[in-house]
Amino acid sequence: MWIGKPSPMNVHALQYNIQWEDKSANYSQLQALIQQLRPQPEDMVVLPELSCIGFTMRREGLAEEPEGETSQFFAQLAREHGIYLVGGLSWWGHGGLGRNMALSFGPKGELLGSYAKQHPFSYGGESEHYQPGEGFLHFDWHGCKVAPLICYDLRFPETFRHLAYQGVEFYLVIANWPAARVHHWDSLLQARAIENQAYVLGVNRCGEDPKVAYPGSSRLIDPHGRVLSSLDSQPGHISARLDLEDLRAYRARFPALNDLRLEQLGLSSARV
């Protein structure tokens, strides 16, 4: 479904049932989904966390080096369709652990940046298999600063605050968020949008893996906390247009971010 008129600020979220630990099946699925979507050049397409393997703790045969097959596959998709693409995958880390990654590619297939999940989900055992990332990432998309984050990161507002301080206006939260806590997902996405006066896109998978059911519920939230578009539990996509002029006018009218207590974030007064 389209929300708003087509413009250079078009974003698409793909919600699908990730085939468990089966890269080839998911590569084929994504090729077909993007072909059906038919995004325009320089649109952004966003995929769920661990887009081609699911939320598995297994690394052998699934984790990759930075130039591995899934990175190459994402780059090819971006280049073929001339789009910005954000997807998730597993990299090798240190000591045999993995790293839960979000990679962002530009329309020529160039890597714009890589982000490692800062908060592995210890309750689900992720911290025993994936090492936490360090640092933040944002990239430019038509003059908008965009920051990808991953699933459990959503529960840590200080991460979003650091990025707001760096001028981020659009957060992407790619996830394998379980159905048991879908009401937390809904509330936290809205809270992160309201408190940071930013657009927030949550892209979750649907279906099931061997242990967990997933609710889908991908949604785009505006800076006022309003749900602009959402999906239910079935496979589908969101296609929407961001209005940066409206966002910036709202921030100017109600400059709440100017009152951040930077010392509480360990930051100086000089903007990064």
Which of these CATH numbers, 3.60.110.10, 1.10.1200.10, 1.10.1060.10, 3.30.43.10, describes 2-265?
A: 3.60.110.10
In the chain, what are the domain boundaries? 2-265
Of the listed ranges 51-65, 82-96, 254-268, the least confidently predicted one is 254-268
Distance of CA 124 to the CA centre of its chain: 20
Catalytic residues: 49, 117, 151
- Tell me the pLDDT tens digit for each residue of 10-32: 999 999 999 999 999 999 999 99
Contact assessment for residue 197 and residue 163, using Cβ atoms and an 8 Å cutoff? no
Q: pLDDT > 70: what percent of the chain?
A: 96
Per the listing, tokens 């206006």 go with 169
The whole-angstrom distance between residue 236's C-alpha and the CA centroid of its chain comes to: 16
Quick check: helix, strand or coil at residue 258? helix
Which tokens is 203 given? 């892209």
pLDDT in tens, 114-127: 999 999 999 999 99
- Taking the C-alpha atoms of residue 24 and residue 210, their distance in angstroms, rounded to an integer, is 18
